[in-house]
Each structure stands twice: as C-alpha cells, then as structure tokens.
C-alpha cells in the first residue's frame, strides 16, 4: 500500500484499503498520524458510508489529536445498492457487528496498525453493531463512542461490553436520548451519556458537531493504553 504524506505538522500515513472479512471484501480509508498510539474504526449508520461528511469531519479532528482512523463501509458496493432498494441490510446488526469484528482483527494483525490500541466510533445503527462487536470479540477494545446512536440495538450484549462507552446524543433528539438512557443502565459503570444542548439527531446545528468531535477525541485519548477484552 503506497503511503501519502500530508504537509501538516503531524505527518500522516493515508491510504485506501481493502479489508477481507468472512463474507465480503470491504473498502475503507486508513489514516495514521506518525506518532499515533490509538486507532478508531468508524461504524457508519443506516444509509451512510465512509464518505459521510460528518464522520470525515470527526476523523479529521481525531487526526489533529494524533489519533488514527479507519473509515470503512460494512457493506459492499453491490450490497449498498441492494440496500437502497430494500433497506434490510442496514438493520442486519449481527451481520454488521461480525464484519466490524473482522475489521478489528485485521487492524490488530496488520503491520501498519497492530501496535495501535483500537476504539470504535458508531453512528446511528452502527453504534449497536460496534457494541456487539466489542462484546463478542477476542480483539481488545480500548473505548467506544456513539454519536446519535442506537445502543439499544445491542440488546443482551450490552452487559458484556467491557470498554468504557460514551453515548453522545442531541438534546432535541428526545426519542433517541430515551433509548440511550435505557441502554446505559446495562453498560459498565465507566460509561456515560453526554447531551449536546440544542442539537438534533444529525448535529447539523452550528458548533454541535464540533462538540461531538472534541468530546470523542477527549474520550479516546483518556482511555488510550487501556484495553478491554472478554476473559
């Protein structure tokens, strides 16, 4: 994989990658600041992709805090086209969780990233997949952040999640906030909810997505070097 170097103060290894999983070859973008010690794998929500401008914005903020990222599509291009017609794959949380766990295993074994502590950033339904992947995997996970997520979709897996989890929800996203509060009751005592005042589900209001990105960076940096895996 040829590397690209940025002209910023923190040189970056930036490449497009193809990640093999048990059921598909997945496409993603791997970005690693030169002295990063942690990598965050993004699990996109329903109908989204690795090109999501919101997740790209969050990723760029993480890079500025010396955190590597892997933005990856958990569906292939053909599956994505099928899902646009049927809408059923985006809600197949077990499938997405299995693929995400496969991606984490690839990161854990790949030369350029195997030294990095792994975190998950999940949006919408991707948050449910991230929590299941963290609960049902031998790969150590340092921390998880959910943005406007559906952690309730992880169901019975929630008590098995060992990684500290930050649930970020918009103050005006009342239905999702209630679901997050219910899910938090089943997560470990290192986890918490952060409500962004004045924000709706997509954090489109001025300054709200910036708050999400900064809170995510702080959470991941705080938990760098602490890995949580199933016994």
| Pairing state between β 143-147 and 117-123 | parallel
What are the tens digits of pLDDT across the range 58-75?
999 999 999 999 999 998
Give, in degrees to the nearest 5, the angle at Cα 4 between 123 and 57: 25
The domain of 61 spans 12-222
CB distance 112 to 2 below 8 Å: no
Say what the pLDDT of residue 47 is: 60
Tokens, residue 122: 């999940």
Question: Which residue positions in the chain have pLDDT lower than 50?
Answer: 1-9, 226-231
Q: Confirm whether 112 is domain-assigned.
A: yes
Q: Confirm whether 127 is domain-assigned.
A: yes
Indicate the number of domains in the chain: 1
CATH assignment at residue 54:
3.40.50.1820
Say what the pLDDT of residue 50 is: 80
Tokens, residue 134: 């963290």
């Amino acid at each position: 994989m040829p590397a690209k170097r940025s002209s910023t103060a923190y040189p970056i290894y930036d490449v497009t990658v193809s990640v093999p999983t048990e059921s598909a070859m997945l496409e993603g973008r791997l970005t690693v600041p030169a002295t990063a010690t942690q990598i965050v794998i993004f699990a996109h929500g329903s109908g989204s992709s690795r090109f999501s401008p919101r997740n790209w914005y969050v990723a760029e903020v993480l890079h500025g805090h010396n955190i590597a990222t892997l933005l990856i599509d958990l569906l292939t291009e053909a599956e994505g086209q099928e899902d646009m017609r049927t809408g059923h794959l985006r809600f197949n949380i077990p499938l997405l969780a299995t693929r995400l766990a496969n991606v984490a295993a690839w990161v854990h074994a790949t030369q350029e990233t195997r030294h990095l502590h792994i975190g998950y950033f999940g949006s919408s339904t991707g948050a449910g997949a991230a929590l299941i992947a963290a609960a049902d995997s031998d790969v150590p996970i340092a921390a998880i952040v959910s943005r406007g997520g559906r952690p309730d979709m992880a169901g019975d897996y929630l008590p098995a999640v060992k990684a500290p989890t930050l649930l970020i929800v918009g103050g005006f996203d009342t239905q999702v906030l209630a679901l997050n509060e219910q899910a938090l009751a089943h997560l470990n005592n290192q986890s918490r909810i952060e409500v962004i005042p004045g924000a709706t589900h997509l954090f489109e209001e001025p300054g709200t997505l910036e708050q999400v990105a900064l809170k995510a960076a702080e959470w991941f940096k705080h938990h760098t070097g602490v890995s949580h895996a199933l016994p």
